[in-house]
Amino acid sequence: MLLIPAIDLKDGRCVRLKQGDMNESTIFSENPAAMARRWVDAGARRLHLVDLNGAFAGKPVNESAVKAILAEVGDEIPVQLGGGIRDLDTIERYLDDGLSFIIIGTAAVKNPGFMRDACSAFGGHIIVGLDARDGKVATDGWSKLTGHEVADLAKKFEDYGVEAIIYTDIGRDGMLTGVNIDATVKLAQQLTIPVFASGGLSSMQDIERLCAVEEVGIEGVICGRAIYSGDLDFAAAQARADELAAA
């Protein structure tokens, strides 16, 4: 089970939001590259970056912060990024910058042709982020709820050739209420590609519950507010996950 620290970028800073609300942000660091170093030193084996401004603007906004993070840790571990990535040129530029994976969310839902082209042009580097409330997919920084079922879209993108799905329960994100394990398991059981859990991680108990269902195809979990607030010790949690995997 891969525990993946999230670094959410807003106005060049590392922040956390509650349920995707840009007005409900807590600043955790003025220096995202130093934050990236902190998580790598604590044992992170991958990093998850989100360009929050980009997600709302529909184009990259925090690229300089992304580059600073890649300069700091990009040679050591894979780094993935989502937020505002809506065209092939942007994907190519970010991969050239040193990102390992590109996460496509809103554009995947609204423009399936783009999604297919991205998988064709950059096979092995494309992940889809599906954000959902009550099983229905949301887009545009979670501000718009669609009628699409998560599983239906995920299966379609699997056919296109995406590497993995990141499944976020947006009702839980940033709320420390626990991962929606049942919904994540249900999704993973319908796919052959890996699923990453996201939203609501709050405790070591969540990690242990996720490890118990890892075999259905849940490969990792995005760690957000809990590791910043101190509710979860990241290094201890990754060590516990490794211990359970070896048992």
Catalytic residue set: 8, 131
**Radius of gyration of the chain from Cα atoms?**
16
3-state secondary structure of 137: strand
Among the listed residues 195, 243, 205, the one whose alpha carbon sits nearest the alpha carbon of residue 226: 205
Q: Is the dihedral of CA 225, 228, 230, 234 positive or negative?
A: positive
- How would you class 150 by CB atoms within 10 Å of its CB: exposed for 0-12, middle for 13-18, buried for 19 or more? buried
DSSP string, 71-113: HHHTTTS-EEEESS--SHHHHHHHHHHT-SEEEE-HHHHH-HH
How large is the greatest C-alpha to C-alpha distance in the chain, in angstroms? 46
